[in-house]
Amino acid sequence: MPRASLPPSVAVLRDAVRAALDGGPAVVPLPRATSSPMPTDTALVVRTSGSTGTPREVALPAAALRASASATHERLGGPGRWVLTLPPTHVAGLQVVVRSVLAGTPLTAADPDGHFTPDGLADLLEPALDAAGGDPVYVSLVPTQVHRLLAAAQDGAPRGLTALARCAAVLLGGAASPPALLARAADAGVRVVTTYGMSETAGGCVYDGGPLRGVRVRVVPPELSEPQRGIAPAGSDRSGGVGVVELGGPTLAAGYLGDAAATAAAFRTDPDGSRWFRTSDLGRLRPDGTLQVLGRADDVVVTGGVNVAPAPVEAVVGELLGGEACVVGVPDPEWGQALVAVVATPTGGAGLTPVAPDDLAGVRSAVATRLGAPSAPRRVYRVAALPLRGPGKVDRSGVVALVREHEAHA
């Protein structure tokens, strides 16, 4: 149903964020994990998603949050009304609150304890769009949500997608956005802006491959373990260009609370005084200077002695089978790790279902042609939904567990 006022918890959060940005107490939306003191200029403490291990607490200064919000509005064409559908405990959701506060515009928010549905999104967007009076309306989503909106529209329930197409921009981040998904959204009239960033960069700081104002991007040698050296994902030049993505500029966090060693390893200062955050992602800079993210360095699968980056394979498989794909390595006596793809599609069930032999052959042939034979998945499964960790992030370890459990009982 349309919401006439903010959920009480979000209203309190918005007031607290406004005070923190003006020098008041820092906002800590989740219970503190440590008792370590925070820098005096900290406005927000957020937890990382934990995809690389134990979640850490990130201290974000007010200046970083202001720089991020200002550059976002500049890139989108000006301040506007924001609609919050993401958890206000993660950086993506919190940044929606920050942008709304700094823009001085009304905020529309879903119940933080509710579940996302296409019609529920329409219930939020339609009143905000009708009351905008010509102001742009923005919303941040994750790819899984857009998948559901497109699937609902295909099944005869287009309200959510129709409302989304009326938004001035839809920020899409939290996970890789498959090209097929972006194409389908564009065909539906949705203005998608892909975002790349993390808690340590105050959220998204690279939009559609281009850094926001003041943000710097570079790709540096991976410095990976010996078996992983020489990774050359599809589309990259084996002579160089692929490396670990580092981000710099005014949106960087102060560091991790209570973990000086992790802060020193992740945040580095060059001799010229410029400060950089070293991500866990592989990427390359395209000839036009935009960033292409190729996936996490630690997601690389070594199969038959060959290194395969999952992201390019996921893009092809998702395009072919019309769903959100996750490609993982599972232990295999012959290959060391066998490449397995799991695809969330409307035809998937609660458990894993192998694709038909002809479909598997078609997927393997297409992937081998585009990316090389080692990148062709050995097995492909359908499922109703991929396990998630954090807002929109696929839980790869959960996918591996699903595959191993299924194949142990097959």
User: By C-alpha distance, which of 94, 32, 63, 151 is closest to 390?
Assistant: 94
* Neighbour tally for 404: CB within 10 Å: 14
- Residue 261 and residue 373 in one domain: no
Task: Give the whole-number percent of the chain exceeding pLDDT 90.
Answer: 63
Single-letter amino acid code for the residue at 312: P
* Neighbour tally for 379: CB within 10 Å: 19
> Which residues fall within 8 angstroms of residue 14, CB to CB, at 6 or more apart?
6, 97, 100, 101, 107
CA atoms within 13 A on the CB side of 202: 31
Single-letter amino acid code for the residue at 249: G
- Residue 265 and residue 313 in one domain: no
What pLDDT shows up at residue 158? 96
Q: For 158-172, 258-272, 359-373, 378-392, which range has the lowest pLDDT when averaged over its residues?
A: 378-392
Q: Are strands 107-109 and 81-84 parallel, antiparallel or unpaired?
A: parallel
Range of the domain at 345: 300-408
- Residue 213 and residue 327 in one domain: no
pLDDT (tens digit, 9 = 90+) per residue, 23-36? 999 999 988 888 88
Q: Are strands 243-248 and 306-308 parallel, antiparallel or unpaired?
A: unpaired
- Residue at which a domain ends, from 273, 296, 319: 296
Q: Look-up: residue for tokens 């585009």?
A: 370
- Residue 307 and residue 193 in one domain: no
Confirm if 138 and 80 have CB atoms less than 8 A apart: yes
Say yes or no to pLDDT of 54 above 90. Answer: no
Tell me how many domains the chain contains: 2
User: By C-alpha distance, which of 116, 179, 184 is closest to 385?
Assistant: 116
- Residue 271 and residue 312 in one domain: no
Q: Look-up: residue for tokens 């609609």?
A: 83
- Tell me how far apart the alpha carbons of residues 270 and 14 are, in angstroms, rounded to a whole number: 36
SS3 182: helix
- Residue 271 and residue 343 in one domain: no
> Which residues fall within 8 angstroms of residue 356, CB to CB, at 6 or more apart?
none
Residue 399's H or E segment, with its range, is helix 396-408
Residue 176 pLDDT level (bands cut at 50, 70, 90): confident
- Residue at which a domain ends, from 239, 271, 296: 296
What pLDDT shows up at residue 223? 57
- Residue 228 and residue 341 in one domain: no
Task: Supply the CATH number for residue 322's domain.
Answer: 3.30.300.30
DSSP secondary structure code for residue 279 in this structure: E
Please state the rounded mean pLDDT for residues 150-159: 94
Please state the rounded mean pLDDT for residues 80-88: 94
What pLDDT shows up at residue 309? 84
Task: Give the whole-number percent of the chain exceeding pLDDT 70.
Answer: 92
User: Residue 336: what are its φ and ψ, rounded to 5°?
Assistant: 85, -65
What pLDDT shows up at residue 140? 96
Residue 200 pLDDT level (bands cut at 50, 70, 90): very high
Say yes or no to pLDDT of 41 above 50. Answer: yes
DSSP string across 108-149: EE--TTS---HHHHHHHHHHHHHTSTT--EEEEE-HHHHHHH
Task: Supply the CATH number for residue 72's domain.
Answer: 3.40.50.12780
- Residue 356 and residue 278 in one domain: no
Give the pair of three-digit tokens for residue 67. 């720089």
Please state the rounded mean pLDDT for residues 124-145: 93
Q: Are strands 336-344 and 243-248 parallel, antiparallel or unpaired?
A: unpaired
SS3 74: helix
- Residue 324 and residue 292 in one domain: no
- Residue at which a domain ends, from 296, 326, 344: 296
- Tell me how far apart the alpha carbons of residues 403 and 400 are, in angstroms, rounded to a whole number: 5
- Tell me how far apart the alpha carbons of residues 365 and 372 are, in angstroms, rounded to a whole number: 9
- Residue 139 and residue 252 in one domain: yes
- Residue 252 and residue 342 in one domain: no
pLDDT (tens digit, 9 = 90+) per residue, 295-348? 887 788 888 878 888 888 998 998 899 888 999 999 888 888 899 999 988 777
- Tell me how far apart the alpha carbons of residues 389 and 53 are, in angstroms, rounded to a whole number: 12
Residue 392 pLDDT level (bands cut at 50, 70, 90): low
DSSP string across 46-57: EE---TTSS--E
- Residue 325 and residue 351 in one domain: yes
Please state the rounded mean pLDDT for residues 184-193: 96
Comparing 231 with 243, the larger pLDDT belongs to: 243
Give the pair of three-digit tokens for residue 287. 């000839």
Q: How many residues does the chain have?
A: 410
State the average pLDDT for the chain: 88
* Neighbour tally for 373: CB within 10 Å: 12
Say yes or no to pLDDT of 232 above 70. Answer: no
